Amino acid sequence: MTTSRKATARIPIARPDIGQLEIDAVTEVLHGDVLALGPRAEAFEDAVASLTGRRYGIACSSGTAGLHMVIAGLGLGERDEVITTPFSFVASANCILYERAIPRFVDIEEETLGIDPDRLAGTAGRNTRAVLAVDVFGNPCRIDAIQEAADHHGWYLIEDSCEALGSTLRGRPTGSFGVAGIFAFYPNKQITTGEGGMVVTDDPALAEALRSLRNQGRDPDGTWLRHVRLGFNYRLDELSAALGVAQLQRLGELRARRRHVVDRYAHALQGLPWLRLPTPAPAAEVDWFVYVIRLDPGIDRDHLVGQLDERGVSTRPYFSPIHLQPYWRDRFGYRPGDFPITERVASSTLALPFSTRLTDEEIQQVADALRDCVEEQGRA
């Protein structure tokens, strides 16, 4: 099928799904007197903790804030080493630097795109104290094997599930492994609060420390001008929390719609030998955050992005390796070839438009445009 070179309407990479339930929930907050540190945030915390089988939820202003608080709350700091992945959004590594700890990257697995557990022992140093694993695109890494290695060596395990709310591995929810899990609720996530995040944990002492850290280091009672530690303003406001509670009430509906979009993409793109569809990890159920295909090396991915843009289809490479970002290269001296699997995968990935609001017609438009553009490159 051939599409026109100019599309009639642009298809964005993502769109939030906000309905009357969310509008009413936020409006109700605006009619009240409490805009921060109120009951909606507590209800949101309880709901996410329950969803993940954790004892405590600590709402915060972003997934990045949650990651930072966990690093600080565990007392990880100068000269401590934290093993993590170079294939992620940069926040999962930046949070280590915020506390002057040292990130130690380990290459990923080709299939799960997460940390390769078999490489952990060879990456660890004398000062390694933690592993920060990432569930990439919503697909669980081999977090159970990583947990086993962390327990063996006496390391903390931190699960960055910012992209993976609702996914499971062998029936166990993402975010439920290790000392803490972290979620994010940016508008392109499975549910959104606009900006916002959540830490979940079973450790009461850590939960208490995180509640203090997000609230300027105040004591557990929240005494307004008593500060017992260095803290931050990482609070989640009541408007955002109300939006989150409403979104969770629609979680089944939103999940079903994402599954429909995934199925339609699989049908529309089936049989194309030059791409690889996203595949759940073994024993995993995935609630995808983005829909990322992987292209054959002979396809000019960056040129393809421009071709698709001309047809009104927004796409984006996901992810660029963290170790090759300018700041990281300048500070640590990383070079191409340091983590070859990460670099090979990253050079092939392309995120297609993905949201619960994507129509079947738009999915077909994306598939047709993708096929046409690759044909123009002489690869189909």
- Residues identified as active-site: 189
Q: Which two tokens stand for residue 242?
A: 């109300």
Identify whether the C-beta of residue 164 lies closer than 8 Å to the C-beta of residue 185.
no
Tokens of 162: 């910012």
CA neighbor of 278 nearest in space, from 262, 300, 257: 262
Fill in the amino acid letter for 203: D
Given a contact cutoff of 8 angstroms between Cβ atoms, the answer to whether 13 and 316 are in contact is yes
Please give the Cα distance from 245 to 239 (Å, whole number): 10
Rounded CA separation 15/33 (Å): 31
| Contact of 70 with 158, CB cutoff 8 Å | yes
Using the Cα atoms of residue 114, residue 120, residue 123 and residue 127 in order, give the sign of their dihedral: positive
Rounded to 5°, the CA angle 239-245-250 comes to 130
- As given in the structure block, the two tokens for residue 245 are 């509670």
Give how far Cα 300 sits from Cα of 39, 108, 340, 366, Å: 51, 23, 19, 18
Beta carbons of 302 and 360 less than 8 angstroms apart: no
The distance from CA 9 to its chain's CA centroid, rounded to whole angstroms, is 28
- Give residue 216's identity as a one-letter amino acid code: Q
User: What's the rounded Cα separation, in Å, for the pair 322 and 328?
Assistant: 7
| CA–CA dist 169, 140 (Å, integer) | 6
CA distance 364 to 260: 13
